[in-house]
Amino acid sequence: MVKLTPPMGWNSWNTFGEKINEQLIFETADIMAEKGLPEKGYEYLVIDDCWSLRERDQNERLVADPEKFPNGMKAVADYVHSKGLKFGMYSCAGNLTCAGYPGSFEHEFLDAQTFAEWGVDFLKYDYCYHSPIIPGRYLYRRMGLALENCGRDILFSACSWGADETHEWIKSTGAAMWRSTGDIFDTWESVKDLVRQQEKLHPYNGVGCFNDMDMLIVGMYGKGNVGLKGCSDIQYRTHFSIWAFMGSPLMIGCDVRDMNQATMDILCNEEIIRINQDPVCRQPVKLVGTWAGEDLLLYSRQLAGGDIAIGMFNMSGEKAVARLNLDEVGLPFSTGKTLSCREIWTGDTFRVKNATMIRELEPYDCAVIRAKVVDL
């Protein structure tokens, strides 16, 4: 499958871990449809690890745990599809999954056929318990080839955590998205750590194979499988803005059955999603700025039609002032141009004067600006 914009959806792991079952998935599908998440772009509902029995059947096929999924995975897929969503599942390139269930190593074509028969639309493919003597690029090519020959259009989500220099070979596998990081946790420190890893990877993100910075923690508030300290709504807003700005797939990780209005407002901000889903999918450019420290991140991104997105992210617990010379985005005085701006989260509009943009940021806050090039 070739994806033209970053995939969007929901995944069970961050909140539920192994505590998944048919009823949870049905209720999640109901709420996603009821709240209009597919219309916002969140089209995939993905079951992560721990869905199967601990052993394959006599025909070497994977078997859904009958206690968790008494009607089988085909029935689950059919229900998810009935809600206008696409259905995703999980496997692993090793003998076992990360939680110790059967992986797909040397069962790639059989498993791809099984997933196709069940009506799967998305496969997250992890990297635990893999062969130490076979390079990852071969393991992911195997499953990519199996999926492309299974008779169904299944999005291949490669989850090798950036190991083995994933960025150098992942496009050869048929993957539509690839994990560049280890697992996210519901803490600000985890967000900062994952963001720091991205700078060298910007050139490896784009149409057809998107750099996945891991699932969103927006709205978790310290609850669930990866819920540790939790974050504030301001931190969640900045986290979501960075993921969207950098072109990462946007996979919701909270319990959508229990979202408050602040969480909905963050996840469903149409203008932020528009930047993430911009059709040309150009890479962001890290800007130098003026007097910007390591905890003040400045980025620009040229959008389809000539607009410019500018992201200012204060990663620290202190107030900060972001200062940007427009020469960095290609608009020195000599062009006779400036920017007419709208800050998306606040709705503020302004025009840049003296070729310098200055914005004050509260602790952990951000400014995401969509700007048009205009005459001075």
CA distance 333 to 325: 10
**204-207 CB contacts, 8 Å cutoff, 24+ apart:** 204/167, 204/170, 204/180, 205/246, 205/247, 205/248, 205/281, 205/283, 206/247, 206/281, 206/283, 207/2, 207/3, 207/4, 207/5, 207/281
User: Measured between alpha carbons, how far is 124 from 183 in angstroms, rounded to an integer?
Assistant: 14
pLDDT reported for residue 74: 98
Contact between 371 and 323 (Cβ < 8 Å): no
Q: Which helix (H) or strand (E) holds 84?
A: none
Which pLDDT belongs to residue 127? 98
Beta bridge partners of 367: 312
Q: 178, 137 in Cβ contact below 8 A?
A: no
- H or E segment and range at residue 365: none
Q: Does the reported pTM lie above 0.75?
A: yes
Q: What is the pLDDT, as a whole number, of residue 293?
A: 83
Please report the pLDDT score of residue 345 as a whole number. 98
Alpha carbon distance 261, 212 (integer Å): 26
Per-residue pLDDT of the chain (376 residues; tens, 9 = 90+): 788 999 999 999 999 999 999 999 999 999 999 999 999 999 999 999 999 999 999 999 999 999 999 999 999 999 999 999 999 999 999 999 999 999 999 999 999 999 999 999 999 999 999 999 999 999 999 999 999 999 999 999 999 999 999 999 999 999 999 999 999 999 999 999 999 999 999 999 989 999 999 999 999 999 999 999 999 999 999 999 999 999 999 999 999 999 999 999 999 999 999 999 999 999 999 999 988 788 999 999 999 999 999 999 999 999 999 999 999 999 999 999 999 999 999 999 999 999 999 999 999 999 999 999 999 9
Could you tell me which of 88, 130, 87, 86 has the C-alpha nearest to residue 108? Answer: 130
Tokens linked to 192: 């900062």
Residue 50, number of CB atoms within 10 A of its CB: 20
Candidates 190, 246, 242, 196; CA nearest to 220 is: 190
Q: What residues does 46 pair with on adjacent strands?
A: 11, 88
Task: Classify residue 207 by burial, with Cβ atoms within 10 Å: 0-12, 13-18, 19+.
Answer: middle
Cβ neighbours, 10 Å, residue 189: 11
For residue 235, what are the contacts with CB-CB under 8 A and spacing of at least 6? 188, 191, 364
Catalytic residues: 126, 183
Residue 2 has a pLDDT of 81
Q: What is the pLDDT of residue 290?
A: 86
What is the C-alpha end-to-end distance of the chain, expressed in Å? Answer: 45
pLDDT for the residue 363: 98
CA gap 236, 227 in Å, rounded: 13
How far is it, in rounded angstroms, from Cα 189 to Cα 218?
A: 14
Residue 159 main-chain phi, psi, to 5 deg = -120, 65
Closest by Cα among 41, 68, 39, 6 to 213: 6
